[in-house]
């Protein structure tokens, strides 16, 4: 049994509308009818987040072929997302969630430890949402290496 408030089989919270780079505004309801890969990451332009985002960038053609869209989410500002997107040539939208509305809805705000201090931060997490808006797969505490390949193969399995 999961200690998280949102799990596979649950309807994704689709009505929260937030600013994105580059679209302007986005809510998950706008993406219904497509498979959605929604990944939450702690911070723009940090090493793990850059590696993960670039891996999703490089795999976008494979996800597109599988009729899936990729959307990244962090608490960074739209301006920060713009810089990150430009520098890394990202090819999918990034949602800016400074008030943690979407982060809380997906229960990714978790107690983290850094140098012995506890703080509330974004737990690196990925969700697959099917065209009906139901969460089919969840990864928590994501390790970046190999993650995107695993998400892609899981997606293809879920579609078959």
Tell me the longest C-alpha to C-alpha distance in the chain: 45
In whole angstroms, what is the distance from residue 17 CA to residue 97 CA? 10
Residue 115 — left, alpha, or beta (φ > 0 → left; ψ -120 to 50 → alpha)? left
Are the beta carbons of 109 and 120 closer than 8 angstroms? Answer: yes
- Euclidean distance between CA atoms 129 and 155, whole angstroms: 10
| Domains along the chain with CATH numbers | 18-159 (3.40.30.10)
Percent of the chain scoring above 90 in pLDDT: 90
pLDDT of residue 154: 97
In the predicted structure, residue 1 carries a pLDDT above the cut 70: no
The pLDDT of residue 119 is 87
Judge whether residue 126 has pLDDT over 90: yes
pLDDT at residue 2, as a whole number: 63
**Mean of per-residue pLDDT scores for the chain:** 94
Query: Which tokens hold the place of 125?
Result: 């997490």
Local confidence band at 51 (pLDDT 50, 70, 90 cut-offs): very high
Residue 49 known to be catalytic: yes
pTM score of the predicted model: 0.95
Annotated active-site residue in 6, 38, 49, 128: 49
């Amino acid at each position: 049994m999961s200690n998280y408030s949102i799990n596979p089989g649950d309807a994704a919270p689709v009505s929260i509308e937030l600013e994105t780079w580059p679209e302007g505004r986005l809510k998950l309801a706008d993406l219904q009818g497509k498979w959605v890969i929604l990944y939450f990451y702690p911070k723009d332009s940090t090493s793990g987040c850059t590696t993960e985002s670039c891996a999703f960038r490089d795999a976008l053609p494979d996800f597109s072929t599988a009729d899936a869209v990729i959307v990244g989410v962090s608490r960074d500002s739209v301006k920060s997302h713009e810089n990150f997107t430009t520098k890394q040539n990202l090819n999918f939208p990034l949602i800016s969630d400074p008030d943690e509305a979407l982060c809380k809805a997906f229960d990714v705000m978790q107690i983290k430890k850094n140098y012995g201090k506890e703080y509330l931060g974004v737990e690196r997490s990925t969700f697959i949402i099917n065209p009906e808006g139901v969460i089919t797969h969840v990864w928590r505490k994501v390790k970046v290496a190999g993650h995107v390949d695993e998400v892609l193969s899981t997606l293809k399995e879920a579609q078959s």
